[in-house]
Amino acid sequence: MPSILVYISAFLFYALVGWYFWRSRWKNQSISPKAKADINAPSIATWEHFLILVPLILHGFILYQSIFVNDGLSFGVGNAISSIVWLTALIYWFSGFFSRLQELQNLIAPIAMVAAIAVWLPLVLPSLRPLANTELPAFKAHLLIALLAYSLLTIAVLHAILMTILEYRLHHPAMSRMLMNLPPLLVMEKMLFRIIWAGFILLTLTLFSGIIFSQEVFGQSVTFSHKTLFSFISWGVFAALLVGRHFYGWRGRTAIRWTLTGFTILLLAYIGSKFVLEIILQR
Residues 119-171: pLDDT tens digits? 999 988 887 677 766 666 777 788 889 999 999 999 999 889 888 887 777 76
Q: What is the structure's pLDDT at 14?
A: 95
Instruction: Give the SS3 label for residue 30.
Output: coil
Among residues 82, 101, 131, the one where a domain terminates is 131
Kindly state whether residue 89 falls inside one of the protein's structural domains.
Answer: yes
Q: What is the spatial distance between Cα 196 and Cα 173, in angstroms, rounded to a whole number?
A: 32
C-alpha distances out from residue 227 to 212, 231, 232, Å? 16, 6, 9
Kindly state whether residue 162 falls inside one of the protein's structural domains.
Answer: yes
Kindly state whether residue 209 falls inside one of the protein's structural domains.
Answer: yes
- The residue range of the domain holding 239 is 134-282
* Residue of higher predicted confidence among 7 and 280: 7
pTM over 0.85: no
What's the DSSP call for residue 184?
P
For 276, residues 6+ apart whose C-beta sits below 8 A from its C-beta are none
Q: Is the pLDDT of residue 217 over 80?
A: no
State whether 116 and 201 are in the same domain. Answer: no
State whether 198 and 258 are in the same domain. Answer: yes
